[in-house]
Each structure stands twice: as structure tokens, then as C-alpha cells.
Amino acid sequence: MKPTTIPMTNAIRALSAAKVKYEARAYDYTEHGGTIQAATELGLDHHATIKTIILEDETKKPFVCLMHGDCEISTKNLARARKCKTVVTCEPATADRHSGYHVGGTSPFGTRKRMTVYVQQTIYDLPEIYINAGHRGILVAMAPHDIDVVLPGLTVPVDVAIQ
């Protein structure tokens, strides 16, 4: 169900505190709908709809990766970038615990735990991105370079196009 009001999430608080320009947009969240559902419903470019994935390395240290909605993360390349052996996507309950958000509404901004954030380098080539605002059914439109204003990120080439 589409939120009728935009809730004041920790992500929105973090964006506001950093004085980042953003526009919140609501859509009907559906379990397992992913970025394609949000992009389709809001009439957005799926490539510019950014997903926030919580992962962990072999020591169980959590971190965040931002990826285009129409691409997948190469965990092999990400492990190389982290200089570790392996990385895996966290189970939903673990991701919720680390981020403070529910999967499907995870934002890289205002997370419960401070985590390293890896940003797919081509995200910065886009004129505008749409990223989760910390609540299922809410995205924010913003300039991609403003990611760095809110949180320190590491730019990495870790995408794999979805065929």
C-alpha cells in the first residue's frame, strides 16, 4: 500500500542534516517487487533506481553496497575491493539488525550501525538517482554526488549487467 504521508525516517533526517536537496516519492510497495516495481510505478529509469544491499565478509563484518537496479553485484570483485576472501549478502533479519531498516526499505543513510559504503562507480554518471528513504514504499530523488555529502563512500566497479 502506498504511504499517504512521508514518514520522518533516519535516512530523511540524515539527508536534511547534511542539507542535501531531495524529493521524496511514494509508491505501492509489494514484497519482492524490488527496484523494478518502484521504477515502473513511478515512471523512472530502472538503471537510475539504486538498490541498497547489506553484505558481510568472512569475518561477519557488515558493509553496504549501492548498485543500479538493473545490475547485480559481483561479489568476487567486491571481495577483491575489500581485500578479503569472500562476501555474501546478509540474511534479511541480519540486514535489518545491522541497518535498522526492514529489507525492502533499506537506505544507506542513517543506518543503525556505521558501515563502510561501496558505491558502483557508474552511479555517479547519472544526472539523478532514486534511492530508498528508509521506509518501504518511499524513494528519494537526489543528485548522485550528494551521496558523498551524507556519507563517506568508496567507489568501486562491482556491477554485473542483468541479462
- Give the three-state DSSP class for 100: coil
pLDDT at 161 exceeding the cut of 60: no
Q: Show me where the domains of the chain are located.
A: 10-19+28-133+146-161
Cell numbers found for residue 28: 505501492
110: left (phi over 0), alpha (psi -120 to 50) or beta: left
The CB density around residue 130, as the number of other CB atoms within 10 Å, is 24
Report pLDDT digits (tens) over 53-100: 999 999 999 999 999 999 998 898 888 888 899 999 999 999 999 999
pLDDT cut 90: percent of the chain above it:
69
pLDDT at 109 exceeding the cut of 60: yes
pTM here is 0.90
The CB density around residue 141, as the number of other CB atoms within 10 Å, is 17
The CATH number of 10-19+28-133+146-161, from 3.90.960.10, 3.40.630.40, 3.20.20.70, 3.90.1300.10, is 3.90.960.10
